[in-house]
Structure formats: C-alpha cells, structure tokens
Amino acid sequence: MVEQEGKYNIKAASKILGIQPGTLRAWERRYQMVAPIRNESGHRLYTEEHIKTLKWLSKKVSQGFTISQAVSLLENNHIFSELIPSTEGNQLTKLSNELLGLLLNFNEGKAQEVINSVFGLFTIEKVINDIFEPLLFELGNLRELGKISSAQERFALAILESRIRMIFYSLPQNNYLPKAMTVCSPGERHEIGLLLFSLYLRRKGFEVIHLGTDITEIDLKQAIKTLQPDFLFLSCTIQENLTSVLSLITQIALNEQNLRIGIGGKAVNTMKPAEKDQFSGFIVGQTEHDWKKWLPKRSM
C-alpha cells in the first residue's frame, strides 16, 4: 500500500474537524489512534486517512461516547464508512439475530464483541431503538411462550442492561435544565424499561436521577422532598401493583402540586377505562413516539 502524504498541519486539521489543537494533541498523546507525519521542522502533518479517522471519533464523541470509548470502538471494529441505506435494515436484522443467539447461549465474550460492533456502525439512538428494544420485546415474548428459560432471559437482560447503564452514565447532564427522577414502583423487580426511558430523557438534556428498584413509598416521598425534582416518573410492570401505584400518584399529586408526574410500564395497559380517563394526563406511553408527545405538553 502506498503511504499517504501528509497534507494538513494541525491548524488546518483543527479547522476541518472543529477540534481545538490542544485537544488533538492530547488525544494523540494519550490514545495513539493516529500518528501524524512530521515535516523537516517537526510540525505535524495529517493525511486524508488521519482526518477520516478523527472525524469518526469526533462523531462518536458528539453522540455521547467518551473519547476512550470511541477509541475502543475504533480498535475493535476498524469501521469508518457508513452503511448503504438500502442494506442497513438487513444489517440490523442480521446483527440483532446474531446477538440474540449469543445471549441465549450464554456467550458473553462474543455478545460484547457484537454490541461493540453495532455501536461502531450506528448511532446510540438507532442501536437502542432498532436493536436493543426489539431484543427486549423478543426476550419477553420467548419467555412467555416457554421457549427460553428464566436463566437465559436474566443473563440476556443483565448484559443489555449493563451496556445501557454504561451509556446512561457517560452522557453529560445540564444542571440548569429540568430535573427528572425515575423510579420503579414499590414492589417492582425489573427496571430495564425504565432505564431505557431514563436514557431517553438524558439524551434530551434532562438532569436525570435514576433510582431504579427497591425504593419504598416512604423513601420515595423523602427523596422528592430532598431532591425537589421537576418531574417524577414511575414505572409499573406488575398488574397487582397498579392499584397501589395509582393511589400513590394521587397522594403525591395532592402534596406536590408543582411536580409533574408520569407513569408508564406494562401494567398501564391493563388499566380500566375509568382509570385511564382519570389518569390520562399522567400516562407517558410505551414508545419514544409517545414520549415525544407527552413531554412537551408538560415542559411549559
């Protein structure tokens, strides 16, 4: 292969990439992901391939990855070009099916490699919406049909949940934007659906305090007093818990009149018509499409 010629000094590269020269130097020094050619005066000269690599890394950082995570993806995948749109759906399906098979066979190492690959190929939003969420639905469906064991389901959920948490905590927060508290209703055991919603909120810029499971009613009310969130989101997946959750929402709404409250989760679909009418303003919905409609109406 013919070695490419260095064409861009650090000032030109900085302008093309929108990255400060000091940041470029720090990236190179710490991660060695590119090695600029030096001219006779010792100044850096970047090739077209260097610029391509740095653009890819910069794009990943803008999507919410840290630079170390982006470099790790780069090292694992060596992928720079975008997929051809007409083949994207097939690629998503193929990778999703491959990942499902690995998870059900308890192959954590290979499953993590595939997850790294999909994050190298697609945006966070696409991976969550088009791979992770359908996988979660399929896992639940297979478990209900008795086609997989509880051990297989729990292993798969643990792997997916760990990666969602990693993304969630890597995204920046703006403390001047609305504060949202997300919590599973007392008695709930599963939080991955709520975690996906929490991730959505953080991607939209909310300051999100995700409390998850095992929060008692007393602790929840105390947390509201202490944290003073603008939003409270409760997840209810177990139908038997629904009545107590709706009662809890009513109590909190009476005592915290400035707090905007939302409820979601599988159990919400089992609400009686009268309950749906009474709590219609609290029902956030199950999909990102629903969330996009609910949030702006309560963010005024």
Tell me, letter by letter, the H, E, C secondary structure of 25-66.
Answer: HHHHHHHCCCCCEECCCCCEEECHHHHHHHHHHHHHHHCCCC
Query: Distance between the two ends of the chain, CA-based, in angstroms?
Result: 58
pTM, 2 dp:
0.65
Q: What per-residue confidence (pLDDT) applies to 86? A: 39
DSSP state of 233: E
Report the chain's C-alpha Rg in angstroms.
23
Give dist(CA 17, CA 70) in Å, integer: 16
pLDDT band of residue 123 (cuts 50, 70, 90) is confident
3-state secondary structure of 111: helix
Q: In angstroms, what CA-CA distances link 169 with 129, 151, 199, 291? A: 18, 27, 9, 21
Label residues 32-71 b or e (16+ Cβ within 10 Å = b). Answer: ebbebeeeeeeebbbbeebbebbebbbebbebbbebebbb
Which residues does 275 contact at the CB level (< 8 Å), separation at least 6? Answer: 246
The percent of residues in the chain predicted with pLDDT above 90, rounded, is 30
Q: What per-residue confidence (pLDDT) applies to 299? A: 59
State the average pLDDT over residues 18-22. Answer: 85
State the average pLDDT over residues 271-277. Answer: 89
pLDDT tens per residue, range 288-299: 888 888 887 665
List of domains in the chain: 10-64 (1.10.1660.10), 85-169 (1.10.1240.10), 171-298 (3.40.50.280)
